[in-house]
Amino acid sequence: MTTLPLSDIIRDSFALAWRNKYLWLFGLFAGGAGGGLQFPGGDSSTGLERIEEIQAWVLAAIGMIILIGLVVGTIVLVLHTLCKSALIYNIYQIETGGAHTLAGGWDFAVKRFWPMLGLTVTQWFVLFAFVMIIVIVEVVLFMASLALGFLSLLVALPLLFAGVAIAMVVWTYAERFIALENRGVIEALGEAWALGKYEWRTSLTVLLIKIAIAIAFGIVVGLIGLILALPAVGIWAASKPLAILYGVLVLVPYLVLVGGYFGTFDYSVWTKVFLKLRASAYGTAVQTSTPPPSAGDGAPPPLFE
């Protein structure tokens, strides 16, 4: 079990995120129609024809929404995958005294794209399946007996929270095994599980601290957001377009900057923790400007056989 200076890690991560503001672009994504459609008009069509036209319009609109959703979702997924590797890489470079740039992080992320994408898709699929299994079981138990359903919640809720917590730790470490040690998806998950199990106390402590910080940060950000939104209420009464413009020019940039900063802080904490837990595998890499292995190069030897 490794004892880490968690207060120093947290403090340094806040400072790192503030000093390197270009990383907020990565942190924002690492940390998630045009006009022309009109209802058919005219008085010459019969009621049945009009209903069929409206049905066709609705189906076309639904298809367009689904298509736009798929396109936007794919773009967000690609950016999310790339930004995770780029952020981890640049934080590593900062920690080890190496060169860290926006372009360098992006180039590195492209080399790690496919395994990181595989990990991301696997993570979402497993979490969705895990949650759905618990929900389905609970629904069946509630349908069988209301009392049995409520009693089962005493097991289901702790199981749900524990499963999500374990998944968060394992996938957090797996991301860094892929980004910094060029591991494949399965190998990264195996080593992340071993690291999380061996360092479970440290990992759980970091996770709980991060959750507490996220809650406090969210409260502060929410209060500031409410203060910034107050003028929009008065503007809305006078002019709705101006209120929308105010939101676009003030509230949206505020949320983007806050999201980018906190995403960078979050990845900094976990990357610093990972590097310290893996110090024996990296040798002196955490003190010198040794770059992580590039795609195809050898990685540090596994800490756990």
Q: What is the pLDDT of residue 97?
A: 83
The distance between the two most distant Cα atoms of the chain, rounded to a whole number of Å, is 82
Can you give the pLDDT at residue 29?
Answer: 82
Number of domains within the chain: 1
Let me know if residue 98 belongs to a domain: yes
Tell whether 76 is covered by a domain: yes
Handedness of CA 85, 88, 91, 95 (dihedral sign): negative
Residue pair 217/10 in contact (Cβ under 8 Å)? The answer is no
Answer yes or no: are the C-beta atoms of 22 and 93 closer than 8 Å: no
User: Residue 19: which domain range?
Assistant: 6-32+45-112+198-282
Q: Which residues contact 51 (CB under 8 A, 6 or more apart)?
A: none
**pLDDT number for residue 282:** 65
pLDDT per residue as tens digits for the range 202-244: 999 999 999 999 999 999 999 999 999 888 888 888 888 888 8
Whether 92 contacts 292, CB under 8 Å: yes
Position 132 in a domain: no
| pLDDT value of position 267 | 93
What pLDDT, on a 0 to 100 scale, did the predictor assign at position 1? 63
Q: What are the angstrom distances between the C-alpha of 292 and each of 29, 155, 275, 297, 298?
A: 22, 43, 11, 9, 10
C-alpha 273/C-alpha 92 separation (Å) is 11
For position 101, what pLDDT does the model report? Answer: 86
Which amino acid is residue 173, in one-letter code?
Y
The amino acid at residue 92 is Y
Residue 151 belongs to a domain: no
Query: What pLDDT, on a 0 to 100 scale, did the predictor assign at position 305?
Result: 35
What's the pTM?
A: 0.78
Whether residue 156 is contained in a domain is answered as: no
Residue 247, pLDDT score: 85
Residue pointed to by tokens 């190998």: 187
- Domain annotation covers residue 146: no
In 182-297, which ranges are continuous DSSP H helix? Answer: 185-198, 200-238, 240-246, 252-277, 279-282
**Burial status of residue 67 (CB atoms within 10 A of its CB: 0-12, 13-18, 19 or more):** exposed
What φ, ψ does residue 224 adopt, rounded to 5°?
-65, -40
* b/e burial code for range 201-211 (CB count within 10 A of at least 16 → b): ebbeebbeebe
Whether 244 is in a domain gets the answer yes
User: What pLDDT does residue 21 have?
Assistant: 87
Q: Check if the beta carbon of residue 6 is closer than 8 Å to that of residue 29.
A: no
**Residue 89 falls inside a structural domain:** yes
Q: 73-84, pLDDT tens digit by residue?
A: 899 899 999 999
Chunk the chain into consecutive blocks of 10 residues (it has 305) and report each block's average pLDDT, rounded to whole numbers. 80 89 84 43 53 75 87 90 93 87 90 94 92 93 88 91 93 94 92 92 93 94 92 84 87 91 93 88 47 45 38
Predicted local distance difference test score (pLDDT) of residue 232: 85
Q: Is 254 helix (H, G, I), strand (E, B) or coil?
A: helix
Gyration radius of the chain's alpha carbons: 24
